[in-house]
A = this chain, B = another copy of it.
Amino acid sequence: MRHDDLADVNCSVAKTWSVVGERWTMLVLRELFRGQRRFDAIQETLGLGRSVLADRLVMLTSEGVLERVQYQDSPARHEYRLTPKGEDLYPLLVALIEWGDRWKSETPPMALSHRACGHRPELQLRCPHCEEQVTRRELRATFAADAW
């Protein structure tokens, strides 16, 4: 199974992975969420190959995760911005940060805080109906007939 074949499998994990599962993709998105929009800025910070970055940006743009926006003319220059589909990857990024903070870093390299109160936000798995947190033991999984 090639990487691209993940997109065609009936599993939401695999489909998402077909978009973000390559080595550099989530780190490129990390830069976008951090406010970097320029090719050279991202390339220098991450230190990845220019052709790899160019390829990832084209892929993410054609996926609708980023949009390429002209920010000046003569000469024309473009930058990349997160679309709503791209912004919606934020919980995924936070999940990566939280796990790394908890299990792989002594001191968190970056701290998020709620502007209003200064406290640290966290991802919670909740039942919107019961209005309480749930653990995976309290969940049932139902698979469609053609699910992978």
Which residues of chain A have a CB within 8 Å of any CB of chain B? 1, 3, 7, 10-19, 21, 23, 26-27, 30, 33-34, 47-48, 64, 85, 87-105, 107-117, 119-130, 134, 136, 138-144, 146-148
Chain B residue at minimal CB-CB distance from A92: B95
Contacts of A13 in B (CB 8 A): 26-27, 30, 93, 96-97, 100
In the bound complex, CA of A130 to CA of B118 (Å): 10
Extra contacts, 17 of them, besides A34-B141, A122-B125 (Cβ < 8 A), are: A11-B27, A12-B109, A15-B105, A17-B23, A85-B103, A90-B125, A91-B123, A91-B125, A110-B143, A111-B144, A114-B127, A114-B140, A119-B129, A120-B127, A123-B124, A123-B126, A124-B125
Contacts of A33 in B (CB 8 A): 136
The answer on a CB contact under 8 Å between B146 and A109 is yes
The quantity of this chain's copies bound in the complex is 2
Question: A104 is contacted by which of B19, B47, B101, B142 (Cβ under 8 Å)?
Answer: B19
The answer on a CB contact under 8 Å between B121 and A127 is yes
Secondary structure dominating the interface of A? mixed
The answer on a CB contact under 8 Å between B11 and A109 is yes
In the bound complex, CA of A147 to CA of B11 (Å): 35
The answer on a CB contact under 8 Å between A98 and B91 is yes
Instruction: Contacts A121-B126, A136-B87 given; indicate if A110 touches B141 (C-beta within 8 A).
Output: yes
Contacts of A14 in B (CB 8 A): 27, 100
The answer on a CB contact under 8 Å between B3 and A148 is no
